[in-house]
Amino acid sequence: MTDQMSHPAPPQPPRLRTTWRAGRRLALLGTATCAALLLAACGGGSAPGSSGGGGDSAAAKDTPITIGISLPLTGDFSQPGGEAKRGYQVWADMVNADGGVLGRQVKLKIVDDASNQDTVVADYTKLMTQDKVDLVLGTFSSLLNFPASAVAEKNGYVFVEPAGGAPNMFSRGFEYLFFAQPATAPHQADVFVDYVKSLPADKRPQTAAYPTQDDPFTRPVIESMQKQLEALGVKTVFSQVYPADTTNFQSIANTLKNKKPDLIAQGAVFEDGVGLVRSLKQLGYTPKALFQTSAPSNAGQYSDGVGAANTEGVFYTVSWNEQAKTPLNPEFVAAYGKAYDAALPAEDAADAFAAAQVLQKAVEATKGVDQDKIKDWLHANEVQTILGPLSWSAKGEPQGDFILAQWQSGKVQVVGPADAATSETIVYPKPPWS
Amino acid sequence: MTELLQAVILGLLIGGVYALMASGLTLVFGVMNIINVAQGAFLIFVAMVTWWLWKHTGIDPILASVITTPMMFGLGWVLYRTVIVRIRGSSPSMSVLLTFGLALTIEGILNITAGNKFKSATPSYFEESFRVGDISLPKSQVYGFLAAMLVLAVLYVVLTRTWMGRAIRASSQNPSGAALVGVGATSTAALAFALGASTSGVGGSILSVLYPFFPASHYDWISRLLGIIVLGGMGSLPGALVGALVLGLAETLTATYGSLRWATLVFYVVILAVLLFRPQGLFGTRLREDVAV
Amino acid sequence: MHRLGSVPRSHLVALLALLVLALYPAVQPYDTYYQTVLFTTFMIGVQAVSWNIISGYGGYISLGHSAFLGIGSYTAAIIALHSGVNPLWVAPLGGVVAVVLAVLVGSVVLRTRGHAFVIITIALLLSAQIVATNWRSLTNGSDGITLDLPPWSRDIQNIPFYLIMLFLFTFTVLFSALIRRTKFGTGLVAIREDEGKAAAIGVDTTRYKVTAYAASAFFIGVAGGVYAYFLTFLNPVGSFSILGSVTIVLAALAGGRGTLYGPVVGAFIVGIGSEMATVYGGSSSRVLIFGLALMIIVLFLPDGLLPTFQKAWRRYRPADTEYTDQAGALGAGTMQVRDRELASAVVADEVEASAEKLAGKPLLEVKGASKAFGGLVAVDGADLVVKQGTITALIGPNGSGKTTLFNLVTGAMKADSGQVWLDGTRIDTKKPWERGHMGLARTFQTTRLFKSMTVLENLVAPLPDAKWSTMLKPSVAGDEAVRARELLAFVGMEKFAAQPAGALSYGQQKLVELAQVLMLEPRLVLLDEPAGGINPSLVGRMVEIVRDLNRQGVTFLVVEHNIPMVLELCDPVVVFSHGKAIAEGPPQTIREDPAVLDAYLGDEWRPPAVTGTPAASDRPQGVR
């Protein structure tokens, strides 16, 4: 998929086989025993780069900085994977057009892990130990980021991940891991809770229902919101986790219709969000407010799915919006549109872009690709990205806020926090289904 | 009470659609002793085609089965003649492996051509309901159910009243006897396989409206359908109908009164229980060859 | 049979490969990437070799075998999480849990034959995923479980994992080889080839299948714990992935299902091949490649690469065989049997018992047995008594229910009503293999030898008892092999011992099948058309053998259409019509019974010259 890079002459004893291309040797593995024999016969191991690969800032100015990335371009996560690839690519093109990083061009080495755990481990291992890339960037979905970040930690590579905000990602005490979104899952609904708080007590929803998909990114959002709203006195009338493969939402809608909650807060990935709206409409129940996690952020797909008129008043929180006034954001949106048929970037592309920005800032600040220096710098500093400012706890958890968005007249408006809002009006209560 | 009635009605409406989807699987098994693991992939493939037709021509997705059914009949026939026929006479396990490979191939092709995104056809009525008192009958489900029942009735007539149907039933009961009276085993099997595939034409078109789907959805569907025919008795058409209604009800009731999280598991629990207590299923007859211990 | 000191070449190659792979990390410790790829390959190998035990040897396809990897992963991870022990120490417990699950599921599903198993294996995988997702207190649900990084130095990276998985892989292959060499392994192949026949010769098919399923789960479960620690993370989607199962099936199938080294070769092809596809292939769908590969292998290479290659090699360099001449069954063999070996070879125990003393005592009694298939009543309240020491014939028109009666007696089918007694013990509630162990044996109308096995292997396939120790004995060894060769000599087939049974002529197969059931030291042998469809000279041979055996105390019940042979050989003769006996008596009486002539023999039949002197007998019991 991407070209084989030339080795940036590692500062290690010369080896018999440095001229062998990685692929060639892999081919030899095909006859495993012969390959092992041959390799064994080559003799003489080299010491591993103790602080990760590359790390030599004295490398010639004209050699590019190689960034290794494994993404799920095929398989279950191919959709976010493809968007992430675009986000990374747009970033690299913009940076290179601007003279590169530290005066060196950036070269992305992106490989496909087919949404497979074994492959993502092999990919990153290869990138770090075989190809000895200068830097790596994270992949998509926690399923892949968990093992991939462990490989990075073992090899001492800084791992900035654009996705993977599940709480237990950060309970492992990893030092090289950084999550490039404003908040982890349990804090992503805080901005909506703040909005509810801002309402006069009699206007607040009195009862709430919390259906959520069993997904590591949606469930913690809804669970945390439920806890916070209960503390505000909102009565919980329904709370249920449904499995990821649920396709029939009529049973839930039927129950909801009977419980009549003011607020329905759904932890929806995508299709389940569409499914519940449809079923609610079929059964003719409209809550005063509808909050869904990620589903409504899939702009066109979402309004196609539920019908444009039915999007009115739906709340969601999100890490990024194309109208946000953050530095470089308009340029990113423009460059993305130029590269990809005037399409609007998806949130995943923006997150990937931001992850790359984080790494770029750290490399520029430390004037090199020394992984330990980058790590220490990131732990100590705040980075400005298209998602807003990002900073991290010692465990790599981000310490910011999401934005609250709402569908209004067929368009998405940012309605909170106040300083980021693009619209003064907030649709509440929600109008009945059309 | 309303809740119960609503749940029961939704369960039966879903069950009717399940029955149609399972009928093709049970028919092919009955005639050829082949478990067509690719039946779920057929459904998703048709749903994808239906979605595409609906998106680009605006044709009603359920009506699109007028196009997809002959398409699947043809595809089934060609598949039988070119692929499945090659393993006639091999052990049944080979047919499982072959159709499993076929299912993966279809999934892979859909991954590449249609992309790995959830899709769903949304005609104008998809969000409307008929109302009877407090009970809502979603129009899409009602239409889907009616279409499924119609096709099942046609299938029944075809199998009992036409030469083709009689030939198929004859060779399912006694292949060598059927061959003696001029019913060619290969051509009958091709017809049966094509007929089985064509039920996924209607089934897939209905699915495209009722459920969001993506290429890998077929695993869910095939395991559901297998559960149905194991419950009903493998190879039995009435068994598939009853099994589908029972499981549709069980699923909806578990979701309403138990937890939706465990609703899917109901299928597998039922399969195990049936195998434990009544291996031949509700309507299964134990024939000479499979009574042996 | 084996040339002394000659270890098969395949074992030498395997041993060499193992040595090289074991030494590789010592020589090249920093090739982390290759070690990672090989680690995955070994893991596929553990799974494919294990899968091969139930699905290759036993022929029961599992499409959800990666479930055991997930079970092992979760077991080790959960225990490690709560106890703080390193997951590697508790990985074997993952194997134990996998085995327990396999036994539970297997004993429900594998009681019957047929398709239920494959369905259940898919369901097992999907429901394991559901349980892992929903049992949050135990499994942490969809969030998954994270494990600590291994404590060892960063410098040695994955070498410990590499070596542990290689060790497991080696053990799995040895385990598989061991199974294949025992009666257990032969029994599994017998089940794959012909399950009904396996049951008829004393193989407890249910136990064999369940044991094989359990055996195929253990090492995968252990590997699961190692794998979880390697990834440091596990969740329901990754642990119970259908693609993992596809990989297993593909590896075993590509290499050669049912062979020892096929799945090993397949694991290297699939493991390294899919990594190469990732590096070179670009963005094509792995699902599509796997699907197409599976179809192509099933259609065009159903035996797998290794057996196909071996076949081609053998054609290029034919090996020496013990094969001699097709005519060996006739001629010389006939004489030998009579002259020697009878006493030692056949039913030695029975010789001592005086046939005279026991004669007249009922050995087999069928009381009011009925069996219907839908509306067709095949056996209709039949009564039948076979007396000790007789050669009883059962004759009747086609479709009169004779073979179905055999099936009821041997337990291949269950009667709707009625009882079957063998020597004073009621047996109709017993499994076919239990009846076999009690001394009941049968041959089939169309011979049912295991065609992929050699003649000698066929002979040692029967199991005399249900002991676990018998099951674990070497398949071809010791007294048993000697006895098998003697029996082969007795039926004149000893020269064919090393031939595949499928290569024999039909009549030769009948003789081998008779020798096969004699291995059970039966008291009663049911012969289903022993003379049907065979060379007339072999018919005479068959008659002599049966007489010989009968003289030594073996009782026979014979279904036969060759009336002259029946009249010559048997006494009494029972006539079956419409599912029950209509007449019984000595041959000469039956021959003249007008009712029998009407019902069965018809006008064209003419009595041949009677030879021999039939023993005095009851009056015919007449027409009912």
Per mean pLDDT, which range of A19-23, A335-339, B37-41, C119-123 is the poorest? A19-23
CA–CA separation, C345 vs C489, rounded Å? Answer: 9
Size of interface A-B (CB pairs under 8 A): 97
What average pLDDT does the structure give for chain B? 84
pLDDT of residue C375: 73
Residue A382 pLDDT > 50: yes
> Of chain C residues 119-148, which have a CB less than 8 A from chain A?
130, 133-134, 140-144, 146, 148
Q: Over pLDDT 90: what percentage of chain A? A: 47
More confident residue, C10 or C605: C10
What mean pLDDT do residues C217-243 have?
92
What average pLDDT does the structure give for chain C? 82
pLDDT of residue B182: 63
Longest dimension (CA), chain C: 96
Angle between helices A117-125 and C32-51 (to 10 degrees): 160
Are A49 and A10 contacting, i.e. CB atoms less than 8 angstroms apart?
yes
What mean pLDDT do residues B42-64 have?
93
pLDDT of residue A247: 67
From the list C55, C303, C130, C298, the residue with the least C-alpha distance to B38 is C298
Are A4 and A23 contacting, i.e. CB atoms less than 8 angstroms apart?
yes
Q: Write down which chains contact chain C via at least 3 CB pairs under 8 A.
A: A, B
Confidence of residue C6 (pLDDT cuts 50, 70, 90): low
From the list C64, C541, C563, C475, the residue with the least C-alpha distance to C337 is C541
Confidence of residue B173 (pLDDT cuts 50, 70, 90): low
What average pLDDT does the structure give for chain A? 83
Evaluate whether residue B289 is within a structural domain. no
- Print the domain residue range for B61: 2-215
pLDDT of residue C177: 94
CA–CA separation, C43 vs A183, rounded Å? Answer: 37
Residue A362 pLDDT > 90: yes
pLDDT of residue C344: 42
Look up the pTM and report it: 0.83
Task: Dig out the tokens for B14 from the structure.
Answer: 């879903």
More confident residue, B57 or A9: B57
Evaluate whether residue B287 is within a structural domain. no
Pick from B98, B104, B106 the residue to mutate for testing the C interface (most C CBs within 10 Å).
Answer: B104
CA–CA separation, B186 vs B201, rounded Å? Answer: 23
Q: Which amino acid is at C594?
A: P
pLDDT of residue A94: 95
Evaluate whether residue B48 is within a structural domain. yes
pLDDT of residue A5: 37
Task: Dig out the tokens for C454 from the structure.
Answer: 């050699």
More confident residue, A39 or A323: A323
Confidence of residue C600 (pLDDT cuts 50, 70, 90): low
What mean pLDDT do residues B198-208 have?
93
Are C422 and C430 contacting, i.e. CB atoms less than 8 angstroms apart?
no
Interior angle at CA C369, CA C366 and CA C374, nearest 5: 155
Pick from C245, C295, C434 the residue to mutate for testing the B interface (most B CBs within 10 Å).
Answer: C295
Backbone angles phi, psi at B91, to 5 degrees: -70, 155
Q: State the pairing for strand pair A207-213/A235-242.
A: parallel
ipTM tops the 0.95 cut = no
Are A123 and A70 contacting, i.e. CB atoms less than 8 angstroms apart?
yes
pLDDT of residue C396: 83
Residue A81 pLDDT > 50: yes
Domain A49-183+333-390 has CATH 3.40.50.2300: yes
What mean pLDDT do residues C250-275 have?
92
> Of chain A residues 229-288, which have a CB less than 8 A from chain C?
243-244
CA–CA separation, C368 vs C383, rounded Å? Answer: 5
Residue C346 pLDDT > 50: no
Longest dimension (CA), chain A: 80
From the list A71, A317, A361, the residue with the least C-alpha distance to A184 is A317
Confidence of residue C615 (pLDDT cuts 50, 70, 90): very low
Confidence of residue C170 (pLDDT cuts 50, 70, 90): very high
pLDDT of residue C621: 39
Residue A60 pLDDT > 80: no
What mean pLDDT do residues C343-363 have?
53
Question: All domains of chain C, ordered by start, with CATH?
Answer: 9-315 (1.10.3470), 332-384+400-554 (3.40.50.300)
Q: Which residues of C touch A219 (CB under 8 A)?
A: 141-143
Residue A25 pLDDT > 50: no
Are C124 and C71 contacting, i.e. CB atoms less than 8 angstroms apart?
no
Domain boundaries, chain A: 49-183+333-390, 187-318+402-420
Q: State the pairing for strand pair A263-266/A207-213.
A: parallel
- Under CATH, what is the fold of the domain A187-318+402-420? Rossmann fold (3.40.50)
Task: Write the residue in A75, A250, A301 that is nearest to B138 by C-beta.
Answer: A250
More confident residue, B34 or B267: B34
Confidence of residue A33 (pLDDT cuts 50, 70, 90): very low
Per mean pLDDT, which range of B216-225, C276-285, C315-324, C549-558 is the poorest? C315-324
Residue B289 pLDDT > 60: no
From the list C48, C28, C97, the residue with the least C-alpha distance to C68 is C97
Residue A225 pLDDT > 70: yes
What is the DSSP-derived secondary structure letter of residue A266? E
Evaluate whether residue B242 is within a structural domain. no
CA–CA separation, C307 vs B77, rounded Å? Answer: 33
From the list C395, C399, C373, the residue with the least C-alpha distance to C384 is C395
Tell me if chain C has a CB within 8 Å of the CB of B20: no
Per mean pLDDT, which range of A53-57, A175-179, A319-323, C147-151 is the poorest? A53-57
Residue A43 pLDDT > 70: no
pLDDT of residue B174: 67
Q: Which residues of B touch C291 (CB under 8 A)?
A: 101-108
Residue C4 pLDDT > 70: no
Evaluate whether residue B250 is within a structural domain. no
> Of chain B residues 131-170, which have a CB less than 8 A from chain C?
none
More confident residue, C601 or C540: C540
Tell me if chain C has a CB within 8 Å of the CB of B86: yes
Are B6 and B135 contacting, i.e. CB atoms less than 8 angstroms apart?
yes
CA–CA separation, C180 vs B12, rounded Å? Answer: 51
Tell me if chain C has a CB within 8 Å of the CB of A123: yes
What mean pLDDT do residues A210-214 have?
91
Within this chain, domains A49-183+333-390 and A187-318+402-420 share the same CATH topology: yes
Structural domain count of chain B:
1
Task: Write the residue in B86, B222, B275 that is nearest to C108 by C-beta.
Answer: B275
Longest dimension (CA), chain B: 59
What mean pLDDT do residues B22-51 have?
91
**Cβ of C430: how many Cβ atoms within 10 Å?**
17
Q: Up-side HSE of residue A101: CA atoms within 13 Å toward CB?
A: 27
pLDDT of residue C602: 52
Interior angle at CA C151, CA C148 and CA C152, nearest 5: 140
Q: Over pLDDT 70: what percentage of chain C? A: 87
More confident residue, B237 or A75: B237
Q: What is the pLDDT of residues A264-312, one digit of tens each?
A: 999 998 878 988 998 898 888 999 999 999 888 877 778 887 888 899 9
Residue C428 pLDDT > 70: yes
More confident residue, C55 or B265: C55
Q: What is the pLDDT of residues C71-118, one digit of tens each?
A: 999 999 999 999 989 999 999 999 999 999 999 999 888 877 767 788
Pick from C111, C112, C115 the residue to mutate for testing the B interface (most B CBs within 10 Å).
Answer: C115
Interior angle at CA C188, CA C187 and CA C193, nearest 5: 95
Tell me if chain B has a CB within 8 Å of the CB of C106: no
Residue A333 pLDDT > 70: yes
> Of chain A residues 15-54, which have a CB less than 8 A from chain C?
22-23, 25-27, 29-30, 32-33, 35-37, 39-40, 42-43, 45-48, 50
From the list C56, C395, C475, the residue with the least C-alpha distance to C249 is C56
Interior angle at CA C243, CA C241 and CA C245, nearest 5: 85
Angle between helices C116-134 and C66-83 (to 10 degrees): 30
> Are B211 and A283 in contact (CB < 8 Å)?
no
pLDDT of residue B131: 82
Residue C584 host element (H or E): strand C580-585
In angstroms, the Cα distances linking C309 to B144, C249, C265 are 53, 20, 12
* Residue B39 buriedness (CB in 10 A; 0-12 / 13-18 / 19+): buried
CA–CA separation, C398 vs C375, rounded Å? Answer: 18
Residue B279 pLDDT > 70: yes
CA–CA separation, B73 vs C279, rounded Å? Answer: 40
Residue B42 pLDDT > 90: yes
Pick from C19, C142, C227 the residue to mutate for testing the A interface (most A CBs within 10 Å).
Answer: C142
Evaluate whether residue B224 is within a structural domain. no
From the list C10, C374, C2, C431, the residue with the least C-alpha distance to C201 is C431
From the list C216, C240, C213, the residue with the least C-alpha distance to C106 is C213
Q: Over pLDDT 70: what percentage of chain A? A: 85
Residue A246 pLDDT > 60: yes
More confident residue, A47 or C521: C521
Q: Which amino acid is at A402?
A: F
CA–CA separation, B20 vs A399, rounded Å? Answer: 53
**CA-based nearest distance C238→chain B, Å:** 15
Per mean pLDDT, which range of A9-18, A186-195, A396-405 is the poorest? A9-18
